[in-house]
Chain A
Amino acid sequence: MDSTTKAPASAATKPAPRALRGYRADDPGTQPAYLYPPYASTQKRAPHEALVRLPWSLSEVTGPLFGFERIRANDFDLTKQHDGAPIGERIVVSGRVLDANGKPVPHALVEIWQANAAGRYPHPVDQHDAPTDPNFTGAGRTLTDAEGRYRFVTIRPGEYPWRNHPNAWRPAHIHFSLFGPAFATRLVTQMYFPGDPLLEFDPMYMSIPDEKARKRLVSAFDWETTIPETALGYRFDVVLRGRDETPMENDLVLPR
C-alpha cells in the first residue's frame, strides 16, 4: 500500500507529507526470549501476553541525546577514578558502535559496569565472600566519536558465583548500556572474554538462540590496541538497529 497518498486527518495543521522511516527488526535468533526458564529470574518477570507491535511514529524514531557536558575526563578510565591503582590486570576495551546498515553511530552514550578483579561488586546485594577494592568502583561512560569509536581502560573482571542453580558461576563480563539515535535503538548487553570455559554453562549467554549471535558477544583479543608493558587490548563492536532502507513499505505521513 502506498500510504503517502493518504490524506492527513488534521486539516487545521496544514499538514505536508513527510517520510518517516522505521528501524529494521532484529534478525531471527539474535535476541533472547523474555521467558528462558534456565535463567530462573525470568520465570516470574516475563510477560505472558504477546507484545503489541507499535506503528512507527516520532515517538520511536526520536530518542534522548547526550552531550559531553556530563562526561568527566576520567570516566573512560576505570583505573584512575580513585587515589590508587585497582588490583587486577589492566585491559583496554575498545570498539565501534555501528548500526545494522554498517554505518558508524556517532556521539552514542556508552555506559559500562563490572565486577572487580576478585569478582565482587561494591553493591549491597553482592555479599559474595571476595574483597572489594577501594580503588575500583567499576563504572565508566563515554560518548562515541564521529566514527562511532569508543575506548575504556579498566581491569579484567573476575568470575563470580550466583544462586541461579547449584554451583552456578557467571563468566567474566562487562555490562554495556547504549543509546543510539532513537528510542528504538536502545540496547543493554554484556561483553564476554575469549576462551572463557563458563560461557556454555551460563544461562544468560545461552539464552541467545543463535550460536553466531552469542559468539558476537565475546570480545576479541587485539594486538592493535594492546599497550606494550601496560595493558592487553580487547575489541568489542556493538551493532544497533539500522534504519529501514526500503521506505516504500514503511513511509508514513506526518502532519507538520
Chain B
Amino acid sequence: MSPAPHADDRHAMRQPTTSSQTVGPYLHIGLTWLNTANLIANVAGVRSILVAGRIVDGDGAPVSDAAIEIWQADASGKYAHPEDARDLPGTAGFAGFGRCPTDADGRYAFTTLKPGRVPAPGGGWQAPHINVTIFMRGMLRQLNTRIYFGDEAAANADDPVLTSVPPARRATLVAVAGANAGDYRFDIVLQGKGETVFFAV
C-alpha cells in the first residue's frame, strides 16, 4: 500500500513506475501475434507508402532480433485516439499502429500512409512524422525515435523537434525518398558514427 497520506494529498497515491527490462531474444513468442507490417490493409482509397530500412549496432552488424513499433496520425494529421479531440473525420480502418520484427539482415518494412501535419507544442505545426519505438535483446529499455520525410523540406525546416536537434544529426531522422514514388528508406544506427537521434519521451 501507499505510505501515509502526505500533507499535499495530490501526492498521497503517487507510486514509482515499474522498471523496464529487455524483451530478450525470444520476443517473437509473445509479440508475433500482433505483427502489423501493413497498416492500411483495411483502408480504401489511400496512397500507400513503403517505409523500410535496416537496424545496425555499433559494429555495423545487423540487428536481427529487434521489434519496431510505429504510431502515427492519418493523412489529415489526426490520431485515432480520444486525446486528439479535434473535429476531423479520421480514416476508417486506420488504427495508426504497426509492429514489425527485423529479419536476419536487420531489415524491417512498413506499408502505410503518409501522416499529415500534427499540431506543435505552443502552436503551429509539426512536420509529418512517424513515432517509433524499438525493442531488442541488449536494450534494457526501449528506444524512441521519429521518422520524418525527405520530400517535406519546407515542413521539416519548420518542425520544432527537428530544429531542436543539432544540425549535423538531423539527417538521421529523415527518411530518404526512393526512386519509386512513395518509397522511403530509414536506417537506424544504434551507436557510433551516424548514430540515430533517440528521444527521451
Contact = CB atoms under 8 A, between A and B. Distances in A.
Given A102-B13, A177-B31, 12 more contacts: A34-B140, A44-B191, A49-B197, A52-B197, A58-B79, A59-B79, A65-B95, A100-B15, A138-B29, A217-B18, A242-B14, A253-B122
A182 B57 CA distance: 28
Given A30-B16, A46-B191, A48-B192, A139 B33 contact: yes
B20 interface: yes
Interface in B149-191: 160-161, 164-165, 169, 190-191
A245 B20 CA distance: 23
Interface string B60-79: 01010100010101000001
Contact of B14 (A56, A102, A113): A102
A122 interface: yes
Interface string A51-74: 111111111111111000010000
A226 interface: no
Most buried by B among A51, A58, A101, A177: A58
Given A47-B195, A189-B21, A242-B14, A63 B122 contact: no
Interface residues of B, number: 82
A123 B16 contact: no
B16 to A, nearest CB: 4
A132 B24 CA distance: 19
Contact of A44 (B57, B119, B144, B196): B57
Given A41-B137, A100-B15, A216-B19, A6 B30 contact: no
**DSSP class of B's interface residues: helix, strand, loop or mixed?**
loop
A61 to B, nearest CB: 5
Interface residues of A, number: 94
Contacts of B26: 113, 115, 121, 123, 125-126, 175
A181 B200 CA distance: 18
19 contacts: A6-B122, A10-B125, A30-B19, A32-B141, A47-B198, A54-B144, A58-B73, A62-B79, A65-B80, A113-B27, A175-B24, A183-B201, A186-B133, A188-B141, A189-B21, A190-B21, A190-B24, A204-B22, A208-B19
A188 B23 contact: yes
Interface of A: 3, 6-10, 15, 18, 20, 26-27, 30-34, 36, 39-49, 51-65, 70, 98, 100-103, 111-113, 115, 121-123, 125-126, 137-141, 175, 177, 181-184, 186-190, 204-205, 207-208, 212-214, 216-217, 238-242, 245, 252-256
B73 to A, nearest CB: 8
B194 to A, nearest CB: 11
B188 to A, nearest CB: 10
Contacts of B63: 45
B143 interface: yes
B124 A189 contact: no
Nearest to A8: B123
A216 B81 contact: no
